[in-house]
Amino acid sequence: MIRRRNPLSLPSPAAALDDEDLLREILLRLPPSPSSLPRAAAVCKRWRSIVLDDDETGFFPRRFRAHHHRRQEPPPLLGFFIPDPCRLIGFRHGLAFFFSWWARQAILWDPLTGRLRRVSFPSSPLVHQDGAWTRLVNAAAVCTAASAGNVGHVHGARLLSPFKLVVVGHDNGFERAFACVYETESGAWGDVASVRAHAMIDPFKKSVLVGNKLCWLLSGGNMLEFDLESQGLAVIEKPTGARSTDFCEHFQVLRTEDNGIGLAICSELSIQIWERRSDSETVVRWVLQKDVQLDKVLPPRLDALNRPAWVLGYDEGTNVIFLSICRGDFMVQLNSMKFTHISKICHGGGIGGGDGGTDMSNDT
């Protein structure tokens, strides 16, 4: 005999929300979108105190991010910000890092807790052996667990421990490039690594982490590679068969599906995707993976292009590249080559004729 519970004996929804622990679990399961937590915090003072709470179970936004990260890869986006007066250098493993030129510091910031760590610039890389001044132009921060090859690693509860901060620069003549590492465990800067580069490090393109190596784009399409284990610095030349272009805006360093080094090159009405492959223990070469013709991918109203596509940015976690074309800005998922029109206004000038946000999926 099955005894059914009297519906009148069940607690009402209002009574359930009176339970602090139950309410916290409900809020934890809100949709993982940037607007969820601010809207919940605006309901009442009680909800706001929970959303901003930092108790023995942990800081609520961090728990919110971790809860949804178990169900999707990469972790959900909780918001965005525009830094001022510091210059944003990158964002990786849940931490943002900046340059503060006036304070001569690198700043690592955990946006989920508000905690930050300031690291003064090293003095040694500013002058190299010949007495020429070196200009620090870019940097990257990497969690030690991720540098060991754990691509899906998400920074844990302890702030910046352990982390490596790498700064790179070049001399005024662009003859040599330099790199130096700060480790949070030792609290000290290491030795300066250098290599002959004959190129400028792009100060605007973010670094890309591939296994235990960090890569930055150099002018002309080559890239600077820093090995986090050996702390060696090397220059990787662009593919010899690549279409010729000298502007940094036409290149983007990538992390391929196989966790290898890749390079996207925009030229005329096409995008080439190259990957570095090892034929043996000593021979490594570039292989062309995809050659996408934009006039065949985009709808007719958008394919009247009068200049090559420009790279606006890249997300190494999702392997998504952002392009600016004459008729607007696009988000491209490189694994599937799925194009999404995200803006009618092009960063290079002009207004597009398409509808912002329309999805244009194409498999090549």
Instruction: Specify the pLDDT at position 358.
Output: 33
Instruction: Specify the pLDDT at position 156.
Output: 46
Residue with token string 């003072």: 45
Parent domain of 355: 242-364
Q: Coil, strand, or helix at residue 183?
A: strand
Same-domain check for residues 170 and 254: no
Q: Coil, strand, or helix at residue 44?
A: coil
Q: Write out the H or E segment, with its range, that includes residue 89.
A: strand 87-92
Same-domain check for residues 119 and 225: yes
Residue 11 counted as domain residue: no
Same-domain check for residues 287 and 351: yes
Taking the C-alpha atoms of residue 21 and residue 59, their distance in angstroms, rounded to an integer, is: 14
Same-domain check for residues 96 and 47: no
Q: Coil, strand, or helix at residue 249?
A: helix
Taking the C-alpha atoms of residue 45 and residue 51, their distance in angstroms, rounded to an integer, is: 10
Residue 282 counted as domain residue: yes
Instruction: Specify the pLDDT at position 216.
Output: 96
Instruction: Specify the pLDDT at position 353.
Output: 33
Q: Give, as one character, the DSSP assignment of residue 257.
A: T
Same-domain check for residues 68 and 142: no
Taking the C-alpha atoms of residue 140 and residue 111, their distance in angstroms, rounded to an integer, is: 17
Tokens of 262: 């890749």
Residue 77 counted as domain residue: no
Instruction: Specify the pLDDT at position 115.
Output: 77
Same-domain check for residues 50 and 97: no
Amino acid at 149: G
Instruction: Specify the pLDDT at position 76.
Output: 63
Same-domain check for residues 95 and 201: yes
Same-domain check for residues 118 and 201: yes
Contact 327, 346 (CB under 8 A): yes
Same-domain check for residues 246 and 233: no
Same-domain check for residues 90 and 200: yes
Instruction: Specify the pLDDT at position 130.
Output: 52
pLDDT tens-digit map of 36-88:
888 888 888 888 888 877 655 557 877 887 787 766 656 666 665 555 677 88
Which of 110, 109, 88, 91 lies closest to 99, judged by CA?
88
Contact 302, 316 (CB under 8 A): no
CA atoms within 13 A on the CB side of 189: 16
Instruction: Specify the pLDDT at position 134.
Output: 64
Which of 174, 324, 169 lies closest to 249, judged by CA?
324
Same-domain check for residues 58 and 111: no
Instruction: Specify the pLDDT at position 61.
Output: 78
| Structural domain count, the chain | 3
- Put residue 245 in one of left, alpha, beta given phi > 0 → left and psi -120 to 50 → alpha: beta
Tokens of 129: 């052996």
Helical axes 20-28 vs 60-69, angle rounded to 10°: 50
Please return the burial class of 283, using the count of CB atoms within 10 Å of its CB with bins 0-12, 13-18 and 19+.
Answer: exposed
DSSP 286-331: EEEEEEEEHHHHS-GGG---SS--EEEEEETTTTEEEEEETTEEEE
Instruction: Specify the pLDDT at position 75.
Output: 62
Instruction: Specify the pLDDT at position 242.
Output: 76
Rg of the chain taking only CA atoms, in angstroms: 24
Which of 190, 273, 264, 258 lies closest to 229, judged by CA?
190
Instruction: Specify the pLDDT at position 208.
Output: 94
Tokens of 75: 């972790």
Q: Write out the H or E segment, with its range, that includes residue 69.
A: helix 60-69
In whole angstroms, what separates CA 283 from the centre of its chain? Answer: 30
| Cβ neighbours of residue 284 closer than 8 Å, sequence gap 6 or more | 276, 277, 278
Instruction: Specify the pLDDT at position 53.
Output: 74
Mean pLDDT in each 10-residue stretch from start to end of the chain (364 residues)?
54 66 87 81 87 68 77 61 72 81 81 79 57 72 63 47 84 87 88 91 91 92 94 93 75 90 85 87 86 76 60 88 81 87 58 34 35
The bridge status of strand 223-227 relative to strand 105-109 is unpaired
